[in-house]
Amino acid sequence: MLKRCLIGAVVPVGLVLSACSSEQKTVPVDTSGAESQSYAAGYAALQNGDNTAARDYLAQSYAARPDDPFEEINYAAALQNTGEVDKAVPLYRDVIAKGGNVYGTEFTRPEVQGMSVAGVAKWNLAQAGRDEAGNLIGPTQGAALVAPGANTYEVFFAFDSTAISHEGAATLRQAAQKALSGNLVRISVTGHTDTVGSSAYNERLSVRRAQAVERALIANGIPRGDIVARGVGKTGLLVPTADQVREPKNRRVEIVEEEARVN
């Protein structure tokens, strides 16, 4: 019998682990149960923060098993991590069409725990500001993807900066007060950038912005364990632009406070 094993939450989008070996290795295996070297190397690269290498390894693994929904969604997620969302979209759409009853054993993000691979594909697309068909969605449509009972806030940043402004600090105090006064389940903190610079640099910048907001929320009384912080770089633009365009509204961190439903 295959045992479950855990892959840490190391990437901004959800990846799915199909099965784990009885030796409790923290590497993925293919759906046949035989360890795939390129698949394992892809996850190792992700854990080391090398998204480009992860994409290349997972591309090899997907090419060997293009009909496997686990291979398909993981390659799509790797493409998304390197800012190649348009290449990921057709893969996600195929997974959504055929993966509604397919489930993994472990996931790289707690937000997608227990979802089918189709559900993870939809969640990943939403992180990129896309609907299920892969079309760009506006802020109003994006707000509709937030769970009922959630409060949302945004903190904006100067170009190439992680410094929180006075206005941002006031927003974070308000967010913390609201969270502490309610029935909080979790706070999701998602860092974004505009499109100036490389995908790799902007991914790091978005993570640093998310971490700055996380520290500020903790300083305002929010328990560290209630916060899930991540950066998505150039993906999920609030204002769609071409590459290498400065857009102040895209330099932001989005805070979503989810509260338990009260019957």
Where would I find the H helices in the chain? Answer: 37-47, 51-64, 69-81, 85-98, 117-127, 139-143, 166-181, 199-219
Question: For the segment 6-54, what is each residue's pLDDT rounded down to a tens digit?
Answer: 222 233 455 554 433 333 222 333 444 445 788 888 877 766 667 788 8
pLDDT given at position 108: 64
The pLDDT of residue 116: 79
Compute CA distances 133 → 125, 163, 191, 229, whole Å.
9, 36, 24, 27
Give the span between the Cα atoms of 180 and 183, in whole angstroms: 8
pLDDT at 106: 64
Tokens representing residue 78 in the block? 């790797």
Contacts (Cβ under 8 Å, ≥6 apart) of 34: none
- The per-residue pLDDT for 21 is 30
pLDDT at 85: 82
pLDDT at site 256: 87
**Predicted local confidence at residue 137, as pLDDT:** 62
Alpha carbons 54 and 58: distance in angstroms, whole number? 6
Ranges in the chain, pLDDT < 50:
1-12, 17-34, 139-149, 261-263
Q: Which amino acid is at 115?
A: M
- Walk me through the domains of the chain, giving residue ranges and CATH numbers: 16-127 (1.25.40), 146-259 (3.30.1330.60)
Question: CA–CA distance from 258 to each of 22, 127, 129, 144 (Å)?
Answer: 36, 16, 19, 14
Q: What's the pLDDT score for residue 251?
A: 93
